[in-house]
Structures are given as C-alpha cells and as structure tokens.
C-alpha cells in the first residue's frame, strides 16, 4: 500500500496517527536545522517536516536534496502544526516524517506547477501532463466528470438508453469536411469519422429504441476558429413518437437539473425567440440575453436626410450603450477603430451622445437636428447619459458587425457575469440557405430536418422562405445544443434531397440505407445534441473550452504534445495503397 491517506484529508482528529502518504513535491523550505516539504496529490497538499533533533542525518540530507515534482512516499506521525495555515484544509497539522522513499526523481519542470503559472499556453499544451497537475486544470476536468455523471443519471432515470454507434462510417457530402481513414482490407476505399451519429440515431429510432443517448466523440475537418477543436464531444439524444414540445420540455428539464445540481442555481423560465427576431434584435442566432442593448432599426428615421452613407445602406441600425455618454472622445475613437478591424469589418461608426439635459450631440450634427436624434433615442431605447452607436451597410453584414460590438461593449461594461445564467430557445430557423459559391441551397441544419408543419408545399414555390422544425438551446450567448424534428418518410426525404441538388442516384449512393429503413415503419422522431465541451465550460464560469478537455489541440489542429498529425512511412503508404502528391 503506497498510502493510507491522501494529501487533502488529514485534520486535527488524526493527530498522533501513523500514516503513509505519497505524491509529488510541490516545494520545500530548508532552514538548515529543519526542512518543510509540501507534498501534493490530486486531493490537496500536506506539509511534511524533517527536524534534525528527531530525524536522522541521512534522511535530513535526503530531504534537503528533494527537487520539485519528485515522486515520494513518506511514513510518519500526524502532529499539530505550530504555525497554522487557515487557507489550507490540512493547515492545522503536519507530518513528522520517520521514513522517506524516493519513488521517482524529476527534471525541473519547464513552468511552475502553481495556480498562477509562468508558462504560456503553447508551453503548457506541449507539457499537458504537467499542466493537469495544476489546480485550475485538474478542477476543470473533475468538474467535467461531475457534469457528465449528472447527465447520465438524469437521462437514465428518464428512460433513455445509452447506445454506442460506430466511429468508422461512410463519408457524406453535407456539413464540414470529413476526416477520412483508408481501409487496408478494401483497397482504394475509405471510412470517415462521424461529424455526428445523426443517421445511426435515426436508425435506432427505426429499431424501436425510442429514447437514445450517447456521450460521443465527433470529428470535423474544418478550418478552426477561436476555441474550436477538430474533435469534440456531444451529448447526443433522440426520441421517437414525440413532437417538438416533448423535446423542449425534456431538455429544459436536463438543463435545469444541471444548473441546480452543479451550480446551485434555480432557473424557471426558458424564454423562446424566433430566429428572425433574434437576427433583428441581436444580429445573431445565439443572443446573450443577460443584458439589453437590443438593436433599433433606424432606416425610417435616419435615411433621406442628405447623408449618403445612410441613404445608400440596406440597413441603418443602432444600440444604446448604458452610461456611454461618459466615454471620452478618445475612448469613442478607440471603439470606432475596434469596429474597423478586419475581424469585424465595419467601414466606420456614427455615434450620438444623450446628454443629461435631454439634448443630443452626434458625429453627424451637420445632417440631423435635435428632433431627428430624439427619434434615434426613441427607437434604440436610449436614455439620458447613454451613447447611441450606429452602423450601416448590407443587412446581414451590418447585423453581424453590430452584434460583435454589442458583445464587446457588454464585456467592457461587466454585463456578461459568469455566475448569471440566461437560457433561451431559438426557434423556426430557415430550412435552407442559399450558397452563392455553389449557386444552390444547402440545409441550414442537416438534410434530415423536417420543415414546419404545413410548409412542405412552399418548398416548390419559395424554398428560401420555408422554416425548419428546428431549435437551438442558447446559454449566455453560446449555442449549447441544437436539434430538430426529423423527416421520417421516404417521399419527403427524397424531396429534400432533390432541393439540395442531389440526383436520385447520388441520394441512393449516399443515403440509400436510411431511405430503405424508412420503408420498414419509421416512427416520428426528433432529437437534440448538446456540445458537452461548451456546456461544461459555461457551467464552470468560462467560455474557453480547452481547460475542460484533457488533451486539446491548438488552433492549427495539432497536438503539440505528441506532435500529431505526423507523416507515416512508405511501407504503411504502400500497405494502404496510397501515394502522396504534396503541394510544393
């Protein structure tokens, strides 16, 4: 037995007990006649003491030569600590060591194993196994475990069955690029890693498993944006013989349970918002509703006034920044520079100060009088002391730009509080979206999403106007889950493939197995998938997912710790019937 207790559990009740501990040396303090060593394991830190009056000379020398991160085992007696540390759970005691065994020596770590480390992100990712020893990462992984267990317990009690689906599947043309895996036994053929278990969970519904879930890895070979991973984890769920309301109620219940059990927060209301309203009021389909600053569309009160920038714009839209009139001209200029960054892409920003005396002062006073600016304030909901920020241009672009500005201002104003939770359902997404490059429609969710009841005929006349029977669950401005009611009959599915540009032959080659299954009695079904990494991060008070993943990859999709991806040798290439054609 390497240890009788862990390093976080000994208290004054254990005084005079003989104990055995094992762990890593956090740090040591050598006073010559006495040596203190902090011993760390997953559970905490316990102070060890070596005293020349009670410790042999040989053991004192051993203790004085202990380096950071040495793995050691000690035996000794629990004694009361003379100088107590109220900030440590074990701060009232220490171990008078009678036996010291060095289990493994260690090189000096490339960064300090402390809560606040001196290691940069790249360095810590290279030595991730050391980074995991740090409390913030360790606690994040433990937190993830807790969330995952709560999910499993809740769904299992609600009658869901956890079923594993394959990782080696068939490549399909929809969605992001697939990661492909060559098959040695089937020369010239490839598996794909699943972007989601979508078709398999639908087949499980055909198979009669009417409540399925799986905590599953998914893979997408796409250009990585900030805080995305090429492999990620979903809480994947599907239900049969249900309608949309059943899905929403079930997963509201799960989310409410997690917030209560994990965060101690009671959430009663899950408001619902139409996709069109989310875009109009917030400029994106996952609005953070912990704060206001809703968009005010100003076309009717800002155009036709000799100001060409607004007159030539498809949309003029603004937000009221609470207390923003206190911003100096220099601070406002910095905001203008911020929206002109390539990442945002605005050409500029017009602003209007709402003075305490009820007057207005704008950057375009030459074109607008006080009555005009008062209408701006009315439309945006601005009050005395606020600042109105206005952008204009192409409707879709300007909404995205103002959305980015809204989130940046909220961050600066401290309105995005991590301990506040505001869930929101966004409903009735467009079924299809037009792609200018390919000049055809693509499924906004995926090709198995059902149109809203009664809108099937609209596909023939105005496909862009058809709404999907789809829904996203948003939490604090992040999409944490999304799903839809699925198509469950061959005729409707064939029609959908037709509008997505598939020939009947292509549809059969790619999805014939699903179409065939629908002919054997497919029940009405639908589901939802949570992004576990994002969900855990938000419940943990963060929006960065990497610390909640044991071994994440960097923004280039590389695992810098094991140096992957990596070349394979010619023998393997030959075995897989592959030949490289690398770009110079």
C-alpha–C-alpha distance, residues 584 and 580, integer Å: 12
Cα end-to-end span (Å), the chain = 58
Looking at 113-195, list the stretches that DSSP marks H as alpha helix, in order from N- to C-terminal side. Answer: 121-126, 128-131, 135-157
C-alpha–C-alpha distance, residues 28 and 8, integer Å: 18
Secondary structure in 3-state letters for 260-290: HHHHCCCCCCCCEEEHHHHHHHHCCCCCCCC
The answer to whether 189 is annotated as binding is no
The answer to whether 221 is annotated as binding is yes
The answer to whether 436 is annotated as binding is no
Residue 556 contacts residue 224 (beta carbons within 8 Å): yes
The answer to whether 5 is annotated as binding is no
Q: Which of 469, 449, 463, 471 is nearest to 278 (CA)?
A: 471
Diameter of the chain measured on Cα atoms: 93
C-alpha–C-alpha distance, residues 463 and 448, integer Å: 16
Token pair of 396, please?
């879709």
> How many Cα atoms sit within 13 Å of 160 on the Cβ side?
25
> How many Cα atoms sit within 13 Å of 550 on the Cβ side?
5
C-alpha–C-alpha distance, residues 269 and 520, integer Å: 40
The answer to whether 486 is annotated as binding is yes
Q: Look at the alpha carbons of 503, 505, 507, 510 in this order and tell me if their dihedral is positive or negative.
A: negative
Looking at 165-223, list the stretches that DSSP marks H as alpha helix, in order from N- to C-terminal side. Answer: 198-206
Residue 22 contacts residue 38 (beta carbons within 8 Å): no
C-alpha–C-alpha distance, residues 439 and 445, integer Å: 18
C-alpha–C-alpha distance, residues 82 and 96, integer Å: 12
The answer to whether 229 is annotated as binding is yes
The answer to whether 222 is annotated as binding is yes
3-class SS of residue 191: strand
- Tokens 């601070």 belong to which residue? 331
C-alpha–C-alpha distance, residues 137 and 166, integer Å: 30
DSSP string, 521-534: TPPPEEEEEEEHHH
Token pair of 403, please?
């959305």
Q: Are strands 423-427 and 470-475 parallel, antiparallel or unpaired?
A: antiparallel
DSSP string, 304-349: SSS-HHHHT-SEEEEEEETTGGG--HHHHHHHHHHHTSTTT--S--
Q: Which of 331, 317, 347 is nearest to 408 (CA)?
A: 331
Q: Which residues pair with 79 in a beta bridge?
A: 94
- Tokens 């992040």 belong to which residue? 478
The answer to whether 534 is annotated as binding is yes
Q: Are strands 432-435 and 296-297 parallel, antiparallel or unpaired?
A: unpaired
Q: Which residues are annotated as part of the binding site?
A: 174, 220-222, 229, 445, 479, 486, 531-534
Annotated binding-site members for ATP:
220-222, 229, 479, 531-534
Q: Which residues are annotated as a binding site for L-aspartate?
A: 174, 220, 445, 486
């Amino acid at each position: 037995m390497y240890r009788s207790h862990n390093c976080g559990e000994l208290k004054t009740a254990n005084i005079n007990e003989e104990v055995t501990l094992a762990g890593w040396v956090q740090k040591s303090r050598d006073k010559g006649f006495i040596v203190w060593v902090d011993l760390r394991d997953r559970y905490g830190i316990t102070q060890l003491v070596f005293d020349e009056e009670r410790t042999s000379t040989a053991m004192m020398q051993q203790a004085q030569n202990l380096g950071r991160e040495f793995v050691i085992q000690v035996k000794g007696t629990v004694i009361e600590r003379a100088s107590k540390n109220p900030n440590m759970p074990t701060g009232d005691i220490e171990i008078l060591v009678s036996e010291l065994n060095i289990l493994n020596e260690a090189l000096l770590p490339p960064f300090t194993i402390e809560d606040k480390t001196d290691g940069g992100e790249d360095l810590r990712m290279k030595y991730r196994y050391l980074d995991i020893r740090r409390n913030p990462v360790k606690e994040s992984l433990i937190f993830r475990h807790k969330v995952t267990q709560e999910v499993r317990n809740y769904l299992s009690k609600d009658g869901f069955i956890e079923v594993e689906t394959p990782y080696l599947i068939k490549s399909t043309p929809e969605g992001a690029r697939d990661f492909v895996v060559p098959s040695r036994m089937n020369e010239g053929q490839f598996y794909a890693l699943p972007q989601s278990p979508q078709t398999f969970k639908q087949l499980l519904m055909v198979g009669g498993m009417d409540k399925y879930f799986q905590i599953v890895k998914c893979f997408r070979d796409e250009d990585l944006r900030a805080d995305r991973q090429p492999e990620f984890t979903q809480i994947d769920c599907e239900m049969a013989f249900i309608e949309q309301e059943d899905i929403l109620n079930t997963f509201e219940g799960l989310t409410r349970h997690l917030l209560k059990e994990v965060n101690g927060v009671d959430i009663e209301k899950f408001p619902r918002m139409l996709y069109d309203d989310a875009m109009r009021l917030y400029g994106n389909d996952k609005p953070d509703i912990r704060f206001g600053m809703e968009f005010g569309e100003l076309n009717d009160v800002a155009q036709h006034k000799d100001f060409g920038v607004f007159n030539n714009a498809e949309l003029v839209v603004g937000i009221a920044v609470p207390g923003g009139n206190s911003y100096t001209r220099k601070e406002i200029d910095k905001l203008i520079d911020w929206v002109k960054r390539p990442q945002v892409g605005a050409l500029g920003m017009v602003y209007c100060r709402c003075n305490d005396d009820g007057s207005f002062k704008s950057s375009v006073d030459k074109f607008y009088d006080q009555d005009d600016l008062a209408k701006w304030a009315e439309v945006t909901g601005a009050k005395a002391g606020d600042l109105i920020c206005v952008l204009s241009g192409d409707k879709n672009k300007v909404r995205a730009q103002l959305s980015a500005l809204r989130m940046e201002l909220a961050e600066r104003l401290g309105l995005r509080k991590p301990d506040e939770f505001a869930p929101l359902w966004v409903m009735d997404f467009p079924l299809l979206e037009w792609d200018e490059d390919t000049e055809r429609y693509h499924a906004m969710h995926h090709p198995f999403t059902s149109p809203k009841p009664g809108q099937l005929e609209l596909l023939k006349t105005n496909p862009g106007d058809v709404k999907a029977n789809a829904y996203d669950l948003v939490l604090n401005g992040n999409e944490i889950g999304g799903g839809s009611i699925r198509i469950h009959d061959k005729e409707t599915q064939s029609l959908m493939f037709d509008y997505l540009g598939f020939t009947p032959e292509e549809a059969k080659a790619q999805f014939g197995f699903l179409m065939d299954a629908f002919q054997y009695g497919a029940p009405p079904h639908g589901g939802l998938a949570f992004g576990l990494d994002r969900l855990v991060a938000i419940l943990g008070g963060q929006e960065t997912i990497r610390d909640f993943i044991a071994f994440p990859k960097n923004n280039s999709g590389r695992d810098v710790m094991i140096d992957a991806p990596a070349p394979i040798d010619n023998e393997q290439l030959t075995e897989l019937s592959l030949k490289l054609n690398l770009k110079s």
